[in-house]
């Protein structure tokens, strides 16, 4: 699933590409994609509205529209939003432009299209069809799906170390699972929980109750460092995710633990990265320095 850096990369791309554009129409081949409306009602609501700005809440892409409406896209496990041109051939979107959107197979599973006034579309490529689209009043978006119950943003300047420690003091359980809980703190999934814990020197199955204040300071520091580094790299494209243009991000070339099973630890401590399962999740870690 795209995590905070991948979603933030898409949002920044949207503000460069589609801010100020008018929405003309929409299409989907999967009725469950649009959660709040039928396709006909959805089109009636959004046609003629302008895109004011894009922003992010957790892993949700939020697109504010004229008339106090907000379009929300949750890319889920295999989804990623693209900006390009498609034409429907026998009811199936086919790329109408050269480049990675046409050439990369991970960009070929278009389930939803938003038609814009400049001849381009926003397309949701989603192999597993888990991606979801919502439309609601901008002032009431906290009532849509789980948005109002989400935890704090890890990169929010107001989210201090003191607040982080206070938050974790109330939790129980395995540290990797807690870091991945969007109702505790948002935007961190399998990739970046592994990476943060590698940098912090903490075993992914350590109990949060056993982590010392000084160790939480490390987690806090590296959580911000890793997420910012991944945003700068435009996300991790080891699996399905691509940028708005259909290109690869670069964080997969910077990984320290995630999906590096069997490789030597980059700390050169003699450790070999291992993969373990716990709480129905896999984790990658160095058994030497992560304790």
C-alpha dist (Å) from residue 199 to 168, 213, 221, 223, 257: 18, 16, 9, 9, 9
* Per annotation, catalytic residue among 3, 6, 45, 195: 3
Quick check: is 204 catalytic?
no
Q: Torsion angle, CA of 223/225/229/231, rounded to 10 degrees?
A: 50
CB 189 within 8 A of CB 1: yes
Residues whose CB is less than 8 angstroms from the CB of residue 243 and which lie 6 or more positions away in sequence, other chains included: 9, 10, 13, 234, 235, 249
57 bridge partner residues? 60
CB 262 within 8 A of CB 285: no
Sheet hosting strand 69-74, strand order edge to edge: 51-57, 60-65, 69-74, 132-137
* Per annotation, catalytic residue among 53, 69, 102, 281: 281
* Per annotation, catalytic residue among 59, 129, 132, 176: 59
Quick check: is 59 catalytic?
yes
Quick check: is 281 catalytic?
yes
Quick check: is 2 catalytic?
yes
Q: Torsion angle, CA of 174/266/259/75, rounded to 10 degrees?
A: 80
Q: Torsion angle, CA of 104/53/72/246, rounded to 10 degrees?
A: 0
- Active centre residues (catalytic): 2-3, 59, 281
């Amino acid at each position: 699933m795209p995590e905070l850096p991948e979603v933030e990369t898409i949002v920044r791309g949207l503000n460069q590409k589609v801010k100020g554009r008018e929405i003309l129409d929409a299409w989907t081949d999967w009725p469950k994609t649009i959660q709040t409306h039928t396709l006909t009602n959805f089109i009636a609501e959004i046609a003629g509205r302008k895109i004011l700005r894009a922003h992010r809440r957790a892993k949700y892409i939020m697109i504010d529209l004229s008339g106090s409406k907000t379009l929300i896209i949750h890319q889920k496990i295999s989804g990623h939003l693209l900006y390009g041109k498609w034409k429907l051939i026998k009811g199936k979107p086919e790329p109408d432009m050269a480049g990675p959107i046409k050439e990369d197979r991970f960009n070929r599973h278009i389930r939803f299209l938003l038609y814009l006034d400049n001849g381009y579309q926003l397309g949701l490529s989603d192999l597993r069809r888990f991606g979801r689209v919502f439309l609601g009043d901008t002032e009431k978006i906290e009532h849509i799906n789980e948005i109002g119950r989400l935890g704090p943003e890890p990169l929010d300047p107001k989210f201090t170390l003191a607040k982080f420690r206070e938050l974790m003091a109330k939790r129980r359980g395995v540290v990797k699972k807690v870091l991945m809980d969007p109702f505790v703190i948002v935007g961190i999934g399998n990739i970046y929980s592994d990476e943060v814990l590698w940098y912090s020197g903490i075993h992914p199955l350590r109990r949060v109750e056993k982590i010392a204040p000084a160790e939480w300071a490390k987690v806090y520091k590296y959580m911000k460092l890793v997420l910012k580094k991944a945003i700068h790299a435009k996300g991790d494209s080891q699996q399905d995710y691509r940028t708005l243009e259909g290109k690869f991000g670069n964080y997969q070339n910077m990984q320290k633990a995630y999906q590096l099973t069997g490789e030597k630890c980059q700390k050169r401590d003699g450790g070999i990265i291992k993969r373990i399962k716990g709480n129905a999740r896999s984790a990658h870690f160095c058994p030497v320095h992560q304790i």
